Structure formats: C-alpha cells, structure tokens
Amino acid sequence: MRLLNKYNKLHSRLNLFPLQIKDKEKENDYRENYIDRNLWHFRPFLLSIGIIYFLFIIPDFLYIHNNVHIKLLLFLRIVFLAMTISIYFWSKFFLDYDRIFYTTTMYELTGFSIFLIIAYIYNPFNFTIHFLGLLIIILGIFFIVPNKFIIKIVISILFSLAFYVVSFLKITPDQVQLIAFIVYNFLIIFICAFSEYRINYLQRLNYLINKKLERLSITDALTGIYNRFKFDRELEKQIDYVKRYKSIFSLVMFDIDDFKEINDEYGHLTGDKVLAEIADIVRNEIRKIDIFARIGGEEFVIILPNTDLEETRTISERLRRKISNYKFPGNLEVSCSFGVTEYQNDDKNSLIQRVDNLLYQAKDNGKNCVIVQKNQD
C-alpha cells in the first residue's frame, strides 16, 4: 500500500497529455538527459540509414531504364545522403531539446518526400514492396528517431495518406486488399503510438524516481539539509574549483551546546525538534549557493563559496545570535558554538581538522561563541 501511495504521488507530478513533468525545471532537466541518452546511438543509426538508402541506387539502375529518371533518382539519393551526413556531424552540437526535434522533423519530412517521389517514378509500381517500406519508416519514426510524441503521430498519419494518394495515381489496387492494407497500416501506427507513449511515460516516471532516490541519498532525513556524504563531495568540488580559478571559500562548523542534557531532560523528540528548527533558522539565513549539512548527531557545517573570513565571521555571529534568541519548544533556550576558517591550499582532511579544533576552542571558551582563525601557509 505504501509503495502504491508513493507511485501515485509520483504519477501526480506528470501531465498525461501533453506528456510532460509538471515541474518545468525538472522537465527541462529530463529533456537534456533525453538528448544525452539518445544522440550517441541516433547518430550512427542515422548515418547507416543514409548510406543504405543511397545504395538502393543499384536496384534503381537495374529496374529503371529511363535516363532522366535515373539521373533524378541519383540526385535525390545524393541529397538525402548529404543531408544525413550533415546532421551526423552537426547533431553532436545540438544541446537544445526543441532544436534537435525541429531538425529531425525537417529531416523526416524531406526523407518522406524523397521516398514518395521515388515510389512515383518507379514503373511498374509494386504496391506491396512500397507498403513494406512505408511500415519500416513508420517503425523507425517511433522507435529510433528522437522526436516529440505528437509529431511522430502526425507525420506517420500524413505520410501514410500521402502514400495512398501516390498509389492511386499509379495503379488501381484491389479494393479488399487496399482496405486490409489501410487497416494494418493504422493498427501499426496505433500500436506504435501506445507503445511510445508508455515508454515516454515510464522514462519520465523513472527519472522522477531516480531524482527522489538521489535526493534521499544526499539528504539528512530529520532536518532536510544535506548529509555527510553530500558535504564531503561538495567540499572536494569546492577545493578543486578554488585551486583551478584562484578563488576563496570559508568553512563553518558548529554544534549545539549541551545537547546531551537536552535529550536527557526533555526527551529525544524535543531534541529532534531542536535539531530541525536550528536547521530551518540557518537555512533561512544563508544563500542558495552555500552548502549546509548535518555531519553528526548535533554537528553542522556550512561551506560558503566566494566568502572571506571577515564576512564569514559576521554571518556566524548573526547565526549564533539568532539561535540563542530563539524560543524553542517549551521555552527552551539553546546555544551553539562556532568554529570558522578560510581555505588556503590545504587538503580536505586538514581543513576539517582545523575547523573542528576551532569549534572545540569555542567550547573551551565558555560555549555560545565564535572562534575564528585564518589558515597559515
């Protein structure tokens, strides 16, 4: 039942038609991932199709004896191959979701037009062979070529109708067979559309599930801020960034004074509320770019990018006052001790050890204070 409720919650975050994630930021992120996933196999497939389609010039020479028609067929196949090669080389630079779909739509429409012209030129016109070609192209639209769901349906239907118009211009097919072909044609479009819609739905649902799992893996369950795992990763990234771009950042470590006594006297539920409310106080006071994490029972850290020591001291003092003046459940008064340092060409472990020592100095100095020390080269 719990799994069903979680599924329904994720399901509610999707618009079923048009199929997309309700959160625009997440939908855009999904689209970027979609492009990254599909371009790597779409490009070689596209190139192989272009080459195979061009090599059909061999049966053209065997079955078409009109020199004008042969030249036209050769020209059309060269155009399609050239367009395919161009998209193959340029598509790796397509970072925009709508742009790549616009390009693939134009490519499909051009390819379909060439297919219909070639089918019209062929004499005698073999309806069954060209019909099989139509079905292969429709299957390619739905399962290989990346495009928007609704565009796939529209192009498949329009292309099918155009094919039957060309067929009537060339021959008069048997009425019973023609009806059967049309029914099979649109059944395949319906089956492909249903399958494609389901695949798109499950891909978006899977994306939301993965995002939720990713968020859970880096989030402290009690306070909703980052956990130790996320802090370690972000600290390493920040050190790499500072080394590369000669920037600065500061690190703050603080914990709750006499937290064990709070738990012993008021109970662990009150202690949990204190932790959660302190996290809320700090979260509302820092910037979005700052990394705030709980790394121990009552111990917290803040990474402040592009922030020097004096500014960090001011921020820490403000946080200390906010916490000490805040009325917690049952009018409980709580204070915190802070250690503050600035990064200067040391590694992660030595930086954490230094700020931890500063925190303990704050404890030794009577608690509820901020101890600052600039790193030494």
Residues 206-223: pLDDT tens digits?
998 898 888 889 999 999
pLDDT at residue 177, as a whole number: 85
Domains of the chain listed by start with CATH number: 2-216 (no CATH), 228-373 (3.30.70.270)
Tens digits of residue pLDDT in 281-340: 999 999 999 999 999 999 999 999 999 999 999 999 999 999 999 989 878 999 999 999
pLDDT of 258 > 90? The answer is yes
Tens digits of residue pLDDT in 16-41: 777 888 888 888 888 878 777 777 77
Omega of the bond leading into 329 within 30 degrees of 0 (cis): no
Tens digits of residue pLDDT in 51-105: 999 999 998 888 888 899 999 999 999 999 999 999 888 876 665 667 778 888 9
Q: Burial-class residue 160 by CB neighbours within 10 Å (0-12, 13-18, 19+).
A: buried
pLDDT at residue 123, as a whole number: 82
pLDDT of 376 > 60? The answer is no
pLDDT at residue 92, as a whole number: 66
pLDDT of 2 > 60? The answer is no
- The torsion angle over the Cα atoms of residues 309, 310, 315 and 318, rounded to 10 degrees, is 140
pLDDT of 143 > 50? The answer is yes
Average pLDDT taken over every residue of the chain: 89
pLDDT (mean) for 265-289:
95
pLDDT of 140 > 90? The answer is no
Q: How confident is the model at residue 343 (pLDDT cuts 50, 70, 90)?
A: very high
pLDDT of 144 > 60? The answer is yes
Model pTM score: 0.74
How many Å separate Cα 343 from the centre of its chain?
A: 32
Contact criterion met (CB below 8 Å) for 370 and 317: yes
Tens digits of residue pLDDT in 347-370: 899 999 999 999 999 999 999 999
pLDDT at residue 377, as a whole number: 46
pLDDT (mean) for 104-124:
90
Tens digits of residue pLDDT in 4-19: 565 567 667 787 777 8
CA distances, 27 to each of 93, 145, 298 (Å): 21, 20, 37
Q: How confident is the model at residue 145 (pLDDT cuts 50, 70, 90)?
A: confident
pLDDT (mean) for 271-283:
96
Among the listed ranges 2-6, 148-152, 155-159, 364-368, which one has the minimum average pLDDT value? 2-6
The phi and psi torsions of 370 (rounded to 5 degrees) equal -120, 125
Q: Dig out the tokens for 321 from the structure.
A: 């006052």
